[in-house]
Amino acid sequence: MNRLTDLTVRESLDALNSGECSSLDLTNEILKRIDEKEPSIHAFLTRTPELALQQAKAADQKRAQLKRSGAAVPKLLGLPIAVKDVLTVEGIRCTCGSKILENFVPVHTATCVRKLLDAGVVILGKTNTDEFAMGSSTENSAYFTTRNPWDLERVPGGSSGGSAAAVAANFTAAALGTDTGGSIRQPASFCGTTGIKPTYGRVSRYGLIAYGSSLDSAGVLTRTVEDAALIFDVMAGFDPRDATTMDVPVPQIQLDNRTDLHGVRIGVPKEYFIKGIQPDVEQAVRAAIAQLEEMGAAIKEVSLPHTEYALPVYYLIAPAEASANLARYDGVRFGLRVETESNIEMFKKSRGAGFGSEVKRRIMLGTYALSAGYYDAYYGQAQKVRTLIKQDFDKVFESVDMIAAPIAPTTAFKRGVHTEDPLAMYLEDVFTLPANLAGVPGLAFCCGFDNQHLPVGIQLMGPHFKEESLFKVGHAYQQVTDWHRRSPDL
């Protein structure tokens, strides 16, 4: 058997179910690795080793009891995972990577986390994130920048950079993330991991501290497509506490080792292979598409003509929603408070001291877009173009089953390269934003490496609620390639 810290979710569960190891053994080994390697990665904002060991011990006791009685064992019993620090877990500090929530301890647990706890997971801690999930590099965290395990001088992507780095560094086999404009898929690409952004409304947002309410999706980062499917299967489903979840049946995803993709139609959008894309990225993505064709898939060039408008549309809609969502952080109800003689001054100074520069920038952009006299010209117009972007996807999915495309125009860039140029940073999300605007699911996984030995990712996007189809094709691809099995040398 591999080192316990090298095991995938499936391998971990098999080892736990067969008795090859206990949850306490697995958790202890993972915590030792985190102690050893975390100082060079900075993946975690809050670590919970005592809680993890308590939960692992309880999981072992529960497994023994259930086996004696012949009862079914919860699906993920004893599996250690990490949680992005924008998802609440009762009793564990939740900062959203912001000073304004530095000491916030929630009294409720996000529904998607609750479902995983009910299935038996062990919580290792909360992972680093760009402040309020606003960023593409984790450099906007108010606390520190997470390092990419493949090259410590480079970023892991964002905003779920802590989760992606934790998986890549073998700190955990699975880590929850969120994706508002690419924040699961882009870090998956930069760190060589697998990530699923579900259909909007497929996974509850209850307990997900909002950035853009019509765009946010909770998902997971893992090493393999099979692992992502296992976790997604538990997280997904209707939640009466979230009015945006859809009461649509979640199929029990069954993946096998078949690699025949005959009958699968895959579209390749010409708008995603643009001038300026890193040659190594285009080459790796096109090679992966050729591999899918060799496996039997029918490949067809398609067009998503309004793709070029996705970036400006997103950066009107998302900041507008953020300006409304972040109004609650006023120094009165919870979070940081700067004491002054005047309530108005307290409000201003608390927000000034608590929010970082990128969050302030997006609040101002959003407030301007929503202001009287500009609403129709900016926010209203952006919503109309968003509809056109969604219609592009709807039309394409009439002739293909899914779309294959690059995730990011480059591989992981060095820390500090884009920090003084917000527009250059925003362009890192140019290939991921359309899926969020259209609400469609996206599966990211590694399809090669560039000439500097940095991972390259590919994304599959499908019709609403067709995650299972994406998982099947991605899993088939991983049966005939080994990119996902490669690990950085730490």
Is 4-264+400-485 in CATH node 3.90.1300.10?
A: yes
Predicted confidence at residue 44, as pLDDT, reads 98
**Of residues 159, 160, 189, 204, which has the active-site annotation?**
159
Classify burial at 18, counting beta carbons within 10 Å of its beta carbon; exposed 0-12, middle 13-18, buried 19 or more.
exposed
**Of residues 84, 126, 197, 472, which has the active-site annotation?**
84
Predicted confidence at residue 228, as pLDDT, reads 98
Which residues is 125 bridged to in the sheet?
47
The phi and psi torsions of 155 (rounded to 5 degrees) equal -80, 155
For the chain, residues with pLDDT lower than 50 are none
Sign of CA dihedral 431, 282, 428, 306: negative
Identify whether 159 is a catalytic site residue. Answer: yes
Predicted confidence at residue 334, as pLDDT, reads 81
**SS3 at position 185:** helix
Classify burial at 212, counting beta carbons within 10 Å of its beta carbon; exposed 0-12, middle 13-18, buried 19 or more.
buried
DSSP 463: S
pTM surpassing 0.85? yes
**Of residues 183, 189, 204, 323, which has the active-site annotation?**
183
Contact 56, 66 (CB under 8 A): no
Contact 193, 222 (CB under 8 A): yes
Contact 60, 22 (CB under 8 A): yes
Predicted confidence at residue 427, as pLDDT, reads 85
Distance (Å, whole) CA 1 – CA 110: 34
Contact 285, 456 (CB under 8 A): yes
For residue 36, give both structure tokens: 């050893």
Distance (Å, whole) CA 290 – CA 348: 55
DSSP per-residue letters across 465-485? T-HHHHHHHHHHHHHH--GGG
Distance (Å, whole) CA 74 – CA 76: 6
Identify whether 126 is a catalytic site residue. Answer: no
Predicted confidence at residue 331, as pLDDT, reads 84
Task: Locate the domains of the chain by residue range.
Answer: 4-264+400-485
Interval 365-393: pLDDT, tens = 999 999 988 999 999 999 999 999 999 99
Residue 432's alpha-carbon distances to 146, 184, 354, 381, 460, in angstroms, are: 21, 10, 29, 21, 11
